[in-house]
Structure 1
Amino acid sequence: MKKIGVLTSGGDSPGMNAAIRAIVRKGISMNIEVYGIYHGYTGLIEGTIRQLDLGSVGDIIHRGGTILRTSRSDAFKTEEGRQAALAQLRKFGIEGLVVIGGDGSSRGAQKLFELGISTVTIPGTIDNDIPGTEMTLGFDTAVNTVIEAIDKIRDTAASHDRISVIEVMGRHSGNIAVWAGLAGGAESIVIPEVDFNIEEITDKLEETNKRGKKHSTIIVAEGVCSGAKVVEMIKERTGLDTRVTVLGHMQRGGSPSATDRLLGSRWGAKAVELLASGEPVGKMLGLRANRLVANGFDLLHSEKPAVNLELYELSNSISI
């Protein structure tokens, strides 16, 4: 294999640049030309592609986001769009592709593999909800961003004897809420995987209030309901001073943690090694027991990994 491409697709996540850097430098060390495809599958269809050299990826390992930019492409979901993408790959002589992104990005990679393009995916999403891996690129950084916010918000909540509701990302997955809630000492965590019971939350608030603890923190995953709605329900049931903070897209940004920089670097190098093997490749990279694994695309059609309910129950048992 002489030429490979790399693109980032879907939502950005910290660590993507570390992976891009590793792909480019590992490729060059193996005498492989590496081409950056800008703006995800949209850029692939449009041919927004240029060769990357060592300098192209200098001083990016510490940067959040993605230097290749990203997007979501409806056009690529059509047969016509995929054929246009295939034509661009052939035009540039790109024989293999690394796709960094979430579930939808991996499904797109599978389509290209079915069209004869060797493709390896790196799981890049802060939601940590990709089959076949215990960790996704960006999750660790996002959790630490939320924990930092919890610590700061608690300072003000304690000063004003106030209940703080913090809304975090997670439409279909409560991973960020559970991990950050437990590590941040939240009194209650609301996630899509567990039935939402406002009575349990307000009963706990009233009990802690009687003990003399006048401030509490509640973490709400956006997939359940809005943080503002939870505030409204708490006020109606208890009358306690309650405020909401919506963290939003700040959870995706920022300098990646050491964990995400390491993961991105390891997965990036591994992707190049797989593509350079000389055999047709269609793999999803993952992590199990801190060891890199390469799964088949068939895993995409299995159930998504469940949130760690043991951590959820642990938080409930010690947040009293």
Structure 2
Amino acid sequence: MTPPVATPPLVFSREIEAARAEGRPVVALESTIITHGLPAPRNVEVAREAEAVIRAAGAAPATIAVLDGALHIGLDAAALDKLAAAPRVMKLSRADLAVALATGRTGATTVAATMIAARLAGIAVFATGGIGGVHRGAERDFDISADLEELAETPVTVVAAGAKAILDLPKTLEALETRGVPVIGYRTDELPAFWSRSSGLRAPLRLESAAEIAAAHRLRAALGIRGGQLVANPVPAEAEIPAGEIGPIIDAALAAAANVSGKDVTPFLLARILDATGGRSLETNIALYLNNCRLAAEIAQAL
């Protein structure tokens, strides 16, 4: 006998409930930036600043996380503090989101899990720092982020400063193209590289406005094309770390990570790069994230 299909336990914050009732635009935000991406107390400060940026741009911020087995769409101040202080928070992607919900766990959502939750909640736009992708050396260990498959399957527009620069960017771009994911340079012909505005790779597509990006999102749905689109928004010029400067630092961090694997790789590398740049990489990360939040709010309004 086939068991009944479970209903995902969505919990909407009061702010998101009101935005939905009033038809106001909403932007999804991931929660691993709080639990795994930024050190305390900057993690909570930046999470609140990102939400404030989105509100100032005319949209409602929906930070997404799993708290005690419930999928929260939007976190009020108390819930955000609870997540930041929680011990042993799971880092949730497509593979383990359902298990966390089924077992009453607390977890922070990655790009892939946030996209899944955004689709369930009817949210079309998601702002993040950088997506995951093909790791360097993936031809040996097949370390490829689930973010790429999610972009190919889930109809959410993701605004990011490209893929994280610790990755194999040419292979990541090729993997996105193979999966039919539109990679749209926002007012740029070149794919940004997270901390750097330039990667040396050409962006397959270029659009000049939030309205054009929103139109492309709608037309993909009208054409019956599955999946989302990636909007590559370069880090502000005044905040970037040029590729020539950050490249050797990334290489040294990768060499130090030889015995690190799985979900521990990215946090390890980011910590090493943070130390090597004297904290500058963190400030650049924050600047590009807030910049992506602004653009995502504009796209959500256009939709």
Q: What TM bracket, shorter-length normalisation?
A: 0.3 to 0.5
Greater relative CO (CA pairs within 8 A, separation 6+): 1
What TM-score, normalized by structure 2, do the two folds share?
0.38
Give the TM-score normalised by structure 1.
0.36
Which entry has the higher C-alpha Rg, 1 or 2? 1
Structure richer in strand, relative to its length: 1
